[in-house]
Structure 1
Amino acid sequence: MLRCKDGYGIETNAGRRQERGLTTGTALALALTAGLSVANVYFAQPLLDQMAAAFSIPPAHAGLVVTLTQIGYGLGLIFLVPLGDLVDRRKLVIALTSLSAAALLVVAKANAKTVLMVAMAIVGLLAVNAQVAVAFAATQASSHERGKALGIVTSGVVIGILAARSIAGVLTDLGSWRTVYLTSAAVMVVITVLLGCVIPSLTPTAPNEGYLSSLRSMPILFLRDRVLLLRGILALLIFATFSAFWTTLVLPLSAAPFSYSHTEIGLFGLVGLAGAVAATFAGKLADRGHAQSTTGYSLVLLVLSWELIALLPQSIPTLLIGILLLDLSVQAVHVTNQSIILTRHPEASSRLVGGYMVFYSVGSAAGATTSTIAYSEAGWLGVSALGAAYSAAGLLVWILSLKFSVLHDGDIAFHGEPERRP
């Protein structure tokens, strides 16, 4: 009989969890959970043609599969992620993981279009488990290692997003699109068991707050705290540029003179895995008090990356360097954003993550929509100009928010953010 220890959460006489830090095993388990959860949202993108053919969905309506998944994800950010402040996150993570396995199985076995669409929406809804895992890591980690912990879990998210397309392509070649979801369902079952063995119980940070009150507090937190609002705006802009690139990359690469297959195009995502390295490194810098300079330098690199990306018709190697810089920059700002916002209101970490990711979702949707329009009107140069504009807007917002004062360690003070000293 398998016996699993509950973890490291301890209750004091006052009923508050003592800070013990996040173990490596727990961090890796959360990173794995977050990575596969978010991958479940992206598996469908390279499979749309096969899924549409299986259910006689017209090509013009095939994108509805992805759209419903994203809608479910957005609803989950608003209605599920805040639960992490009200209940034991261990139970929440395990419940969402096991339910995801069931939803993925329904997708794999679906024999009607309606069943497929509803199941995909539920898969998206439950994929916010990735954000519950992020909040879990931020709460469990000691204050001086919070950025590092966020970097590790975010690395899992980065790998999940970028590897999803490649994994889906390989599994489809070995079987069919249903093989992808069957495999993912099986892995989620294994992860459910792993989580039960590894992650600790956590006392809710706001156990006495009602669910509806918790939902109402999400927008209030961002509207009343200018640091949160600005970091949300930065998230919107960096993920608009990120989405603009990855949504339209398939269009020039699948056309002449390249004519790459979907599997070959999926391999470009592997270059972006360097963003996982950036996530970990940026988290460590945030722990050392360099969050602002990390943000500034990363946004400059993000703008510069589009100069290389714009050269796609002439040079694939230059494109690869541009992808590397783009993903490094986006993930560095992303982790730094989360490190800052979760430090400001630790008692509302789940709500902060959920609210922050709403900005992320809006930016991703805006980038995807506007980039396809830009490509149809002006080709790849139009997409590059759009991506550079989003990136420059992010840099401009950051510059305008500064107090123009310098901290003792060389960092630039951010308006409204307390100085952090080592």
Structure 2
Amino acid sequence: MDFYFLPIPPWLRYDSAKLIQFGILLNLVFAVASTFTAANLYYCQPLLIQLSDSFGVSHSEVSRVPTLIQAGYATGLLLISPTGDLVRRRPLLLLLVASSTLLTLGLALTRSFSAFAALSFLTGLASVAPQVLIPLAADLAPPHRRAQAIATVFSGLLVGVLLARVLAGVIAQFTTWHAVYYLAAGAQAAVLVALWAALPDCPRKDAGVGYFGVLASTVRLAVTEPRLVQACIVMLASSACFANFWVTLTFLLGGPPYNFSTLGIGLFGLVGLFGAALGPLVGRTIDAVVPWHATLAATMGLLAMHAIYTGAAGVHIAAVVVVCLGLDLADQVQQVSLTTAVFAISHAMRARLNAVLILSIFVGQVMGTAVGTRVFVRYGWRAAAALSLGWTALQVGMLLARGPHCARYTWVGYEGGWAWRRDAGADSRVGVSTRAETDRERKAEAEVVEAGADVEKGDLKAPAV
């Protein structure tokens, strides 16, 4: 039973004698759920002027709404998403989606700006379901398609970011902002039903660790795991570049020599669908190689794209289009490969590892937006582009400081050669689940984590990923 009263469909009940099958259909359910919960964070952005007029508040006051939603989301990343390692994920996800559905309905119904602002924060807090789904997908997917499963959920999340802005703008143009939130609540209600009917019940991982122990171990992971620290620094710098690029691109296209309209500038955002469409293919490629090599190749691609942008962004629009496409693809490869590598650190702590990684992305986006905008306004587009080029060079340096096969607690250096193809046999020897992973092995992995001391059974060396 979910919540002691809601029956679990018989085909989804946990059975230790059977291995949970994670097929394409379930992967797509995860992706769609990520789409409509992540969209909650962005519906308000095209609606700010309507919200200002409707509530009778200034533009300055209404601009607090996106900040409150993002603040709620950051709080959820810190306080809720790590609990995926503590509680059963099925009821946690059902509770999160049900909460975000009701809160979104509250946004549609309220007539008070203060209530709208408070509900916005709570909606952000409840919209962390994708950050529970991503590590769950990694847990359920067979190792030979784990990166593909992660990439598919990431693609759903990216579509949600793009879809929210487009839908909100179009719907509000012809009706009112209330209709946007009614539609969002309806979509999430449909997601809730889909999750109830498709999400398998899984046992909790850490039976002996309490909530504050999970939070404490999350903090410890951020400073004691070399591979995680490396990935966080790379992702922080990469997301700063991403935010810097897209925010300052608006200023570049809106001014000379291009002078694009708001609609024309907005259409560039749809380029993001290119990366989303390639997500499963990207994941399948990463599944076949050592993630470090995929990350390095993607980062070198980012370096090339930022170099082109620095040299030619203000010269010809073709350069901007090429860079948009290239950055989108390379960012997707980099994020999925880094996530795959980080998840290999510990099966039992994937929710906490993911929380730390996503927080680094969040901080990077804030940094890129703030610093990039200031540099663009003061020094122009080329200086802002050069800033991203420098941040990308930092990423390359961080990757080269620690090789692909280093032992788990080696901070700097190279060990174990340069093999680029993934060896499934090596994975099984060092603790990464094999395709024939049994339920007994999963339970054994989950039992070895005690209050932040993550020493997996027989795992004295980092997985060869």
TM-score higher than 0.5:
yes
Asked if 1:374 is matched to 2:375, the reply is yes
| Alignment correspondent of 2:464 | 419
**The residue matched to 2:344 in structure 1 has which SS?**
helix
User: Measured at CA, do residues 380 and 288 of structure 1 come closer, stay the same or move farther in structure 2, by a change above 3 Å?
Assistant: same
Aligned counterparts of 2:176 and 2:315: Cα–Cα separation in 1:
35
Change (3 A) 1:409 1:9: farther
Amino acid at match of 1:352: L
Preserved CA contact (<8 Å) 1:50 1:177: yes
2:321 maps to 1:338: no
- Pair 1:11 & 2:12 matched: no
CA distance in 2, matches of 1:308, 1:177: 40
8 A contact 1:6–1:200 mirrored in 2? no
**Alpha-carbon distance in structure 2 between the residues aligned to 1:52 and 1:393:** 41
Q: Residue 393 of structure 1: CA displacement?
A: 1.4
Offset at residue 265 of structure 1 (A): 2.5
Deviations 1:260-308 (A, max 9, x none): 4444322212112222245323322332233111111111111221234
Identify which of 416, 419, 437 aligns with 1:408.
Answer: 419
Residue type at the aligned position of 2:419: H
Residue 428 of structure 2 is aligned to residue 383 of structure 1: no
SS at match of 1:249: helix
- For the 8 Å contact 2:139–2:347, the answer to whether it is kept is yes
Distance in 1 separating the partners of 2:13 and 2:143: 16
CA offsets 1:184-232 (integer angstroms, 9 cap, x no match): 1110011111111111111111133101111111011231110111111
Q: Is the 8 A contact 2:293 2:420 kept in 1?
A: no
Deviation at 1:151, TM superposition (A): 1.1
Aligned to 1:89: 89
Deviates more, 1:105-114 or 1:131-140: 105-114
**Counterpart residue type for residue 402 of structure 2:** S
Q: Structure 2 matches for 1:107-122, cutoff 5 A? A: 107-122=107-122
Shift of 1:8: 4.7
Is the 2:344–2:463 contact (alpha carbons within 8 Å) kept by the matching residues of 1?
no
Deviations 1:312-370 (CA, angstroms, capped at 9, x unpaired): 43322321110111111111111111111112111111111112111111111111111
Q: Which amino acid aligns with 1:384?
A: A
Separation in 1, partners of 2:139, 2:251 = 41
AA at the equivalent of 2:152: I
Deviates more, 1:328-337 or 1:263-272: 263-272
Preserved contact between residue 374 and residue 383 of structure 1 (Cα < 8 Å):
yes
**After alignment, is 323-332 or 39-48 more displaced?**
39-48
Tell me the residue number matched to 2:315: 314
Residue 43 of structure 1: how far off its partner (Å): 2.0
Aligned-partner residue type, residue 306 of structure 2: W
When structure 1 is superposed on structure 2, of 284-293 and 334-343 the one drifting more is 284-293
SS at match of 2:122: helix
Q: Residue 272 of structure 1: SS of its match in structure 2?
A: helix
Q: Tell me how far 1:244 sits from its aligned partner.
A: 1.1
Give the deviation of 1:257 after TM superposition.
Answer: 5.4
Instruction: Identify the range of structure 1 (245-254 vs 31-40) with the bigger mean alpha-carbon deviation.
Output: 245-254
Tell me how far apart the structure 1 counterparts of residues 281 and 13 of structure 2 sit (CA, whole Å): 27
Letter in 2 for 1:374: V
Q: Is residue 20–residue 140 contact of structure 1 (8 Å, CA) maintained in 2? A: yes
CA–CA separation in structure 2 for the residues paired with 1:34 and 1:308: 33
Which segments of structure 1 move beyond 6 Å, counting only runs of 4 or more? none
Q: Does 1:77 align with 2:122?
A: no
Separation (CA, whole Å) in 1 of partners of 2:217 and 2:139:
19
Q: Which runs of 5+ in 2 are unaligned?
A: 1-6, 404-412, 423-460
Asked if the contact 1:271–1:324 (Cα under 8 Å) also holds between the matched residues in 2, the reply is yes
The answer on whether the counterparts of 1:407 and 1:419 sit within 8 Å (CA) in structure 2 is: no
Question: Whole-Å Cα distance in 2 between the matches of residues 372 and 50 of structure 1?
Answer: 25
In structure 1, what is the equivalent of residue 41 of structure 2?
A: 41
Query: Secondary structure of 1:344's match?
Result: coil
Structure 1 contact 301–325 (Cα < 8 Å) conserved: yes
Residues 14-163 of structure 1 correspond to what in structure 2 (within 5 A)? 19-163=19-163
Checking the alignment, whether the CA contact within 8 Å between 1:6 and 1:197 is kept in structure 2 is: no
Cα distance between partner residues in 2 of 1:177 and 1:256:
33
| Alpha carbons of structure 1 residues 33 and 139: separation in structure 2 relative to 1, 3 Å | same
Cα gap change, 1:392 to 1:293, in 2 (>3 Å): same
Per the normalisation by structure 2, the TM-score is 0.82
Contact 2:55 2:113 in 1 (8 A): yes
Question: d(CA) in 2 for partners of 1:199 and 1:289?
Answer: 29
SS in 2 for 1:408: coil
**Contact 1:171-1:179 at 8 Å conserved across structures:** yes
Instruction: Give 1:209's aligned residue.
Output: 209
C-alpha separation between the residues in 2 aligned to 1:254 and 1:349?
Answer: 42
Deviation at 1:171, TM superposition (A): 1.7
Letter in 2 for 1:390: W
The Cα of 1:165 is off from its aligned counterpart by: 2.0
Deviation at 1:71, TM superposition (A): 0.7
Q: TM-score, normalised by structure 1?
A: 0.90
Q: Deviations over 1:129-182 (max 9, x none)?
A: 111111221111122221111011111112122333222222222223332222
Deviations 1:22-75 (A, max 9, x none): 121211111111122112112222222322333333334443111111110110
| Cα deviation, residue 394, structure 1 | 1.1
For residues 258 and 50 of structure 2, what CA distance do their matches in structure 1 show?
Answer: 23
Q: Which runs of 5+ in 1 are unaligned?
A: none
Amino acid at match of 1:211: Y
Tell me the secondary structure at the aligned position of residue 380 of structure 2: helix
Letter in 2 for 1:341: V
Q: What is the rounded CA distance, in whole Å, between the counterparts of 1:55 and 1:346 in structure 2?
A: 48
2:233 pairs with 1:233? yes
Separation (CA, whole Å) in 1 of partners of 2:291 and 2:277: 16
The whole-number CA distance in structure 1 between the counterparts of 2:383 and 2:118 is 36
Q: Secondary structure at the match of 1:128?
A: coil
Letter in structure 2 aligned against 1:139:
D
What's the CA shift for 1:7?
4.7
Q: Are 1:227 and 1:341, in contact at CA under 8 Å, matched by a contact in 2?
A: yes
What is the CA-CA distance between 1:391 and the residue it aligns to? 1.6
